[in-house]
Amino acid sequence: MKNISNTPLNESVICPNYNRSRLKTRIVHLGFGAFHKAHQGVFTDDVVRTSASDWGICEVSLFSGQAMIEALKAQDCLYSVVEKGSEATDVRVVGIVTEAMHPALDGIETIIEKMAEPQVAIISMTVTEKGYCVDPATGHLDRQHPLIAADIGNPSEPKSALGYIVQALKLRRKRGLAPFSVMSCDNVQGNGQVVKRVVIDLARSQDEALADWIETHVTFPSTMVDRIVPATTEETFRDIASRLGVQDRCGISCEPFRQWVIEDHFVAGRPEWGIAGAQFVEDVTPYEEMKLRMLNGSHSFLAYLGYLGGYDYISETMRDSGYRKAAFDMMMQAQATSLNMPEGTNLEAYAELLIKRFANPALKHKTWQIAMDGSQKIPFRIGGSLRFHLKQGSDFRWLAAGIAGWMRYVAGIDEQGQEIDVRDPLAGSLREICDAHGLNVSVVPALLSVEAIFPPDIGQNLRVIEAVSTAYQSLVEHGARATVAAL
């Protein structure tokens, strides 16, 4: 079958305007998923398009992405990005990928050797919240996690992304090579500090001297990333093929908006991402919290309550005036008030932009997709602002409704009695709790007692129990749409 690398494309497609042979593999990225393609890949592609940059990326998938890596290899490491606005659509081919690897295709040792090559300056990651293998009770490495237990038992054949990083750094240190920077691009609060902590924890379980060397010499810049990238479906692939002129199983669709705020702490250099619109700062925390709470928090709110209300897509919830107003009120009254932003930040304008982005009818962003892995997301998206309101004694009804929506969702049965495909690392234990109580408000304190999600200062707080119980009872008696409208 002809593909993107050997077939003439539609005239409107924006193709690489640079000589790809000048690119060097200076970044190895772990997690070749949709978001990375639309975000870091596009930013880096723009830098190469507008400068003499030679920064190329080796894409690595460690787990389920074997077919994607095979497809990428087959089309000369090219892939397409369709940017779908409410009024216009742009199609581009990204050319900055130099190599593609998967352990089942290339071997574990080959990937580690690639990460240890002298010119590699950055290891970047999009491995989702659960890929960091953090024990939420301590904030440190979860040594009982199956992947981590395997890495501790057999370090030379790592299973986790962290294990690969530690082994590559071990090789570089042994060979007298300079370290690289490790850059997380996941929606994890303080992502640089999180990955630093767990990488050093894993290294210390193997070699104290290696752990000390990493702590002294490796940098872990935190980042805030933002772009709405719906999961690809067969409909997405058909749309991409019609716009591109050829099939591309690596292609993705996304919104036109993109944002990247980066702490400028790189031990071995970086691309000039500022050319492409990235913002370099000393401390990413305020921007990160703004996005986690206002965008991601309201996204989760809309995902659970929207799914229960019968809406398949986020844009559909925005056509419901109750959901639209509740989402904006949640952003401004529950989330924005809890933030401490640099002077001049206009949070109301940011909230209005988010509502506009959510309403984009060209994006098919499934409520079910956003609802995945809620046990990993809720602590970051809702926990911080909830603590703020508990301390201030202020109103947090929108946060309580979002938590109640999640509780009703993980019960696994929707309002029509149909089964919900709940995807979550704790899905089994959460379902057991829900089954023991049924759709009864008694489930609220039981779920709030799951300390991996709700630490005692939240889960055992009587105000939280009362507010979430009220919202949950409303969901059971009146349904999601009426509950949201009542907010």
Q: How far apart are CA 257 and CA 227, in angstroms?
A: 6
Same domain membership, residue 160 and residue 138: yes
Domain finish residue from 266, 281, 296 = 281
Predicted pLDDT of residue 6: 75
Indicate whether 6 belongs to any domain: no
3-state helix, strand, coil split of the chain in percent (to 5) is 50, 10, 35
* Distance set, CA 252 to CA 267, 316, 389 (Å): 32, 21, 39
Q: How far apart are CA 239 and CA 310, in angstroms?
A: 25
pTM: 0.86
Predicted pLDDT of residue 1: 37
Same domain membership, residue 419 and residue 273: no
Same domain membership, residue 407 and residue 268: no
Same domain membership, residue 304 and residue 210: no
Which spans in 159-290 are helix H? 161-174, 191-204, 208-217, 234-244, 285-290
Same domain membership, residue 67 and residue 54: yes
Same domain membership, residue 394 and residue 432: yes
Q: Which domain holds residue 167?
A: 20-281
46-98 pLDDT tens trace: 999 999 999 999 999 999 999 999 999 999 999 999 999 988 999 999 999 99
Q: How far apart are CA 363 and CA 303, in angstroms?
A: 15
Asked whether residue 197 carries a pLDDT value surpassing 80, the answer given is yes
Q: How far apart are CA 302 and CA 482, in angstroms?
A: 14
CATH assignment at residue 108: 3.40.50.720
Same domain membership, residue 475 and residue 417: yes
Mean pLDDT in the chain?
A: 95
Q: How far apart are CA 115 and CA 109, in angstroms?
A: 10
Predicted pLDDT of residue 189: 83
Q: How far apart are CA 224 and CA 292, in angstroms?
A: 9
Same domain membership, residue 374 and residue 236: no
363-387 pLDDT tens trace: 889 999 999 999 999 998 999 999 9
3-54 pLDDT tens trace: 777 778 999 999 999 999 999 999 999 999 999 999 999 999 999 999 999 9
295-333 pLDDT tens trace: 999 999 999 999 999 999 999 999 999 999 999 999 999
User: Could you give the number of structural domains in the chain?
Assistant: 2
CATH assignment at residue 480: 1.10.1040.10
Indicate whether 12 belongs to any domain: no
Q: Which strand (E) or helix (H) includes residue 147?
A: helix 146-153
Same domain membership, residue 427 and residue 293: yes
Indicate whether 7 belongs to any domain: no
Q: How far apart are CA 168 and CA 219, in angstroms?
A: 15
Predicted pLDDT of residue 2: 58
Per residue in 349-374, is it b (16+ CB within 10 Å) or e — as a string? ebbeebeebbbbebbbbbbbbbbbbb
Same domain membership, residue 376 and residue 326: yes
Indicate whether 13 belongs to any domain: no
Predicted pLDDT of residue 414: 96
